[in-house]
Copies of this chain bind each other. A is one copy, B any other.
Amino acid sequence: MESATPESPATAIAFERRPETYRHWKLSFEGPVATLAMDVQEDGGLRPDYRLKLNSYDLGVDIELADAIQRIRFEHPEVRAVVITSLKERVFCAGANIFMLRGSTHAWKVNFCKYTNETRLAIEDASAHSGIKFIAALNGICAGGGYELALACDEILLVDDGNSAVSLPETPLLGVLPGTGGLTRVVDKRKVRRDLADCFATIAEGVKGRRAVDWRLVDAVHPTSRFKEHVARRASELAAQSDRPRGEPGIALGPLDPVVTESAISYSAVQLELDRDKRVATLTVSGPTGPQPSTADGIVSMGDRFWPLRAFRELDDALLRLRFNEPAIGTVVVKTSGAAADVLALDATLLAHQDHWLVREIIHFMKRTLKRMDLTSRSFFALIEPGSCFAGSLFELALAADRSYMLDDPEQPNTIALSAMNGRSLTMSNGLTRLATRFLATPDVVAELLAGNEPFDGQAALDAGLVSFAPDELDWDDEVRLAIEGRAALSPDALTGMEANLRFAGPETMETKIFGRLTAWQNWIFIRPNAVGEKGALTSYGSQSRPEFDFGRT
């Protein structure tokens, strides 16, 4: 079912970028308005078998975009509006590169779409929580993933030049779905009527001008001569509504510099050890060490060395490397190491200053990283052992895990603890905290648990429903070993689907719709012969031959 020549980049993907070396974007600043201009280098793809024409993109382009959004949040607190536009003539963005998709494995396509979805959601998160509004200034044709990027912005302005249209040509041209939340955002975010959305998503050439406004696909169209002026005006109007600080300096996000060996990736506070024979990784997060700041100024001074920011940046990077570079690792054992009291003290510091712009950014970043874990299609088993520090925000790792095992041995003190961070800040994609999702059946329990101040030993944690199992010393080794071995033996596809369904009980949001409903359909279509078979639409695109379909409906 895979494409004839599936390829991944020959070397492992790294996810760190610096604006100075961006190849595809120009990031500039003018007072409270940042401009992020797309200028994709045709020969700058991650693989040599495609050229990134017409501002089409691959993962490398999106990694730079994600980096830019992140740096605007942390390094530029003065920015209150971001204009996303293009430096190409008459082209905003042609979407994900089709030849890249065609030459990619199924797993690569799926991971690529997941990552680009997370980047779009990071834009919406910045708009919802950081006082940064985004304008898509579509100064040329805007197709597929290009329009999906626009959909992630707060406003979409389209040039009215008789030619520039927005479009989702995936279904008519490629026989697949728009892969980055497009269908969901069209009907759920922009509330386009479903019959108009149906037409729109089947018209390869898209919709332009007045009709694009009437159908709610864009917010306004402006003639070429006045386009920049209108964009600038809306950017300053949106910037004026922001609550971001004035006159405060940002902090620099320095390189993470992990030590990468054949079997491990080691950061300052995170370690990922890989046992490829067993298809199991061990992910260990170490708690804070040394003195920690207790004031907002102290946090700003520490900058990217402040433990919560550093540890979660490292965790985020480790999860991404795991996803893209280690597809055969199916199970991840999650551990922590350190002093619970220190984690809890930092949680208290964070909450005491949560209205400070930087602390706000740190907390939302922790939240996004934990969401990245929820959305990582690997089985996570948390092992809670003596010397661990599953407390407060780090206990979220155990809550995010598919199961948790806690050693219950009176002779080896071993506890977990909650903090107020578990009660509201670190919400999942479904809009609930992990505690609220865990206790859907007994919602009152959440407040009771959060009101307590005592740590929980194994038996208490088990009784409270905070861990899955609490074996004693005698059973521990065997029970844990059998659980991990058993997991590693199951069908990876069935596990991916099972976890995607069990992890997000409770309410649905646009976010869970995108990752649940839309992604799943997209994955299905991405392995159907009508798309990727020898005569499928994705395979045939750009060649002389037309696709041939098996017209049986499923």
Contacts and interface: CB of A to CB of B under 8 A. Distances in A.
Interface in A512-547: 512-513, 516-518, 520-525, 527-531, 537, 547
A176 B111 CA distance: 21
Contacts of A195: 401-404, 438, 468
Given A490-B171, A521-B500, A528 B531 contact: no
B502 A197 contact: yes
A132 to B, nearest CB: 25
A91 B501 CA distance: 28
Query: Which of the listed residues A186, A403, A503, A524 has the most CB atoms from chain B within 10 Å of its own CB?
Result: A524
Nearest to A517: B516
A493 B187 contact: no
B175 A494 contact: yes
Contacts of A176: 491, 494
A198 B499 CA distance: 8
B520 A110 contact: no
A554 to B, nearest CB: 5
Contact of A107 (B107, B187, B198, B553): B553
Contact of A502 (B107, B183, B191, B522): B183
Contact of A492 (B110, B327, B468, B553): B553
B524 A486 contact: no
Contacts of A388: none
A493 B528 contact: yes
Interface in A169-226: 170-172, 174-177, 183-184, 186-188, 190-199, 201-202, 216
A378 interface: yes
Contacts of A441: 190-193, 216
A95 interface: no
Contacts of A552: 107, 327-328, 492
Query: Which of the listed residues A401, A487, A497 has the most CB atoms from chain B within 10 Å of its own CB?
Result: A497
Query: Which of the listed residues A176, A191, A202, A327 has the most CB atoms from chain B within 10 Å of its own CB?
Result: A202
A24 interface: no
Contact of A187 (B175, B486, B502): B502
Contacts of A437: 194
Number of copies of chain A assembled together: 2
A130 interface: no
Given A513-B516, A523-B554, A554-B523, A438 B193 contact: yes
Interface string A137-167: 0000000000000000000000000000000
B498 A183 contact: yes
A273 B222 CA distance: 48
A330 interface: yes
A178 to B, nearest CB: 9
A450 interface: no
Interface in A380-413: 401-404
Query: Which of the listed residues A174, A191, A198, A507 has the most CB atoms from chain B within 10 Å of its own CB?
Result: A198
Given A502-B197, A523-B554, A492 B530 contact: yes
Contact of A330 (B401, B508, B553): B553
A232 interface: no
Interface string A116-151: 000000000000000000000000000000000000
A553 B171 contact: no
A549 interface: yes
A505 interface: yes
Nearest to A378: B553
A503 to B, nearest CB: 6
Contacts of A328: 551-553
Nearest to A216: B441
A496 interface: yes
Contacts of A174: 494
A495 interface: yes
A494 B530 contact: yes
A102 interface: no
Contact of A497 (B177, B279, B527, B547): B177
16 contacts: A107-B552, A175-B490, A175-B494, A191-B505, A193-B438, A194-B402, A194-B503, A196-B468, A199-B403, A202-B486, A327-B553, A329-B553, A377-B553, A493-B528, A494-B530, A501-B521
Interface of A: 1, 106-107, 110-111, 170-172, 174-177, 183-184, 186-188, 190-199, 201-202, 216, 279, 327-330, 377-378, 401-404, 437-441, 465, 468, 486-488, 490-503, 505-508, 512-513, 516-518, 520-525, 527-531, 537, 547, 549-554
Sorted nearest first, the 8 A-B pairs with minimum C-beta distance are: A520-B520, A175-B491, A508-B508, A191-B441, A497-B521, A516-B517, A187-B505, A183-B501
